[in-house]
Amino acid sequence: MPDFRTLDDLDDLTGKVALVRCDLNVPVRDGDIGDVTRLRSAIPTLTELSEKGAKVLVLSHFGRPKGKDAMLSLSPISSALEKVLGREVIFITETYGDAAAQMVGLMKAGDIACLENTRFHDGETKNDPELAKKIAALGDIFVSDAFSAAHRAHVSTVGVAELLPAYAGRAMERELSALDAALGTPERPVAAVVGGAKVSTKLDVLNNLVKKVDHLIIGGGMANTFLAAKGVDVGASLCEHDLTDTALRILSAAEAANCTVHLPYDVVCAREFAANAEHRTANVHEVAKDEMILDIGPAAVEALGDVLKTCRTLVWNGPLGAFELAPFDTATVALARTAAALTNDGGLTSVAGGGDTVAALNHAGVADDFSFVSTAGGAFLEWMEGKPLPGVEALKR
């Protein structure tokens, strides 16, 4: 049983007002919404609350407005949500107050409305208790369905949750269940793939994971820093030479925790960082002074695939090479496809997250084959760092 309430704890809501924190912060360019994934993820919760007879009020931020900014109104996003839901979404031009309350009073049971951008109010990002009271006054219950905003202690993620009976929506519940299966109470052995350019951005992640997983697979530019720490000359590769002592500390912490760290022993190198640049596969000890390591080599990828075959759980964050440039996407695509096949066979629970990771899995054509892919950026990273997330803590029973 989860330590938070879910929609299963709610029955008939006729006459009740549900304030629902969604994430409608979608990418918009020249007035067009580039990706409606976040809008789609809100459908199950909004539909279920509506069917239970609630008046449903959607709360969300959009962009980083400095005060009220017509360019960052949620009005066009509300229209896009209406299209995705396939039913009317009323737009309320205020976030709280008499005018908003009047509009809510005119709504019928089952109606869905969207309130104006929570960040139009200075107190939102400061978790101002007065603003929280004003917004909470509109509702009877609070439903949190935006894991991607859960790392922020704002009025719409924490403040309102502390004033009303609070529940996890279906998207939030699914995310928290997947994350618990990955690092909370996972089936062992557990492997983690951590890639990306710099060790400095993932120090807390690495320090947390070595205590939690059985196999830590390090790729991307980060692997070069670890290789350099072990005395390997990585040539002209991206490498944080000032962090080699830190890398050594992480390696010794892993050893103390019985976590096996996997670094590549064959690599793909090139003299220029460009798509289809002339390249070669070499042992890590044979990288020339003017060469850059841009991907993990085929022998290492095969060995890593064998590691995954021995594991029951996988957490993935970050690509193994310069995946945005062919052919340096080869290792990421190959290992992602191995993980997807093992997941489809029922032997592996695979959870992935982070912007680059989602892009890489889509590029490999396997995003739908993983057990769970989180679109949350900062919140997913803080969860991997082992930090409590304010928006999740606020839901605890």
Q: Which of 38, 52, 55, 170 is catalytic?
A: 38
* Torsion (CA) 368, 370, 376, 382 in degrees, nearest 10: -170
Residue 119 assigned as binding residue: yes
Assess whether 198 carries a catalytic annotation: yes
Instruction: Give 172: exposed, middle or buried? Use CB within 10 Å, 0-12, 13-18, 19+.
Output: buried
In whole angstroms, what separates CA 55 from the centre of its chain? 29
Q: Are 154 and 129 in contact (CB under 8 A)?
A: no
Is 62 annotated in a binding site? The answer is yes
Rounded to whole angstroms, how far apart are CA atoms 247 and 241?
A: 10
> Does 324 belong to an annotated binding site?
yes
Buried b (16+ CB within 10 A) or exposed e, 328-359: bbbbbbbbbbbbbbbbeeeebbbbbbbebbbe
Distance CA 355, CA 197 (A): 13
d(CA 364, CA 379): 24
How many CA within 13 A on the CB side of residue 32? 2
Is 110 within any annotated ligand binding site? no
C-beta neighbour count of 285 within 10 angstroms: 10
Is 357 annotated as ligand-binding?
A: yes
Enumerate residues 6+ apart whose C-beta is below 8 A from 346. Answer: none
Residue 306 vs residues 43, 302, 313, 321: alpha-carbon distances, Å: 39, 6, 14, 19
Is residue 365 a known part of a binding site? no
Is 38 assigned a ligand-binding role in the annotation? Answer: yes
User: In three state form, how does the secondary structure of 250-273 look?
Assistant: HHHHHHHCCCEEECCCEEEEECCC
Q: Determine which one of 110, 347, 377, 378 is catalytic.
A: 378
Does 260 show up as a binding residue in the annotation? no
Any known ligand binding at 262? no
CA distance 263 to 320: 11
108 annotated as a binding-site residue: no
Dihedral pair phi/psi, residue 36, rounded to 5°: -100, 15
Q: Would the annotation count 170 as a binding residue? A: no
Whether residue 378 lies in the annotated active site: yes
CA within 13 Å, CB half, 306: 7
> Which one from 305, 355, 377, 386 is the annotated catalytic residue?
355
Q: Which of 16, 87, 198, 249 is catalytic?
A: 198
Q: Is 147 annotated as a binding residue?
A: no
Tokens for 97? Answer: 């107050």
- Residues making up the annotated binding site for substrate are 23-25, 38, 61-64, 119, 152
Q: Which residues are annotated as a binding site for ATP?
A: 202, 324, 354-357
Q: Which residues are annotated as a binding site?
A: 23-25, 38, 61-64, 119, 152, 202, 324, 354-357
Active site residues: 38, 198, 355, 378
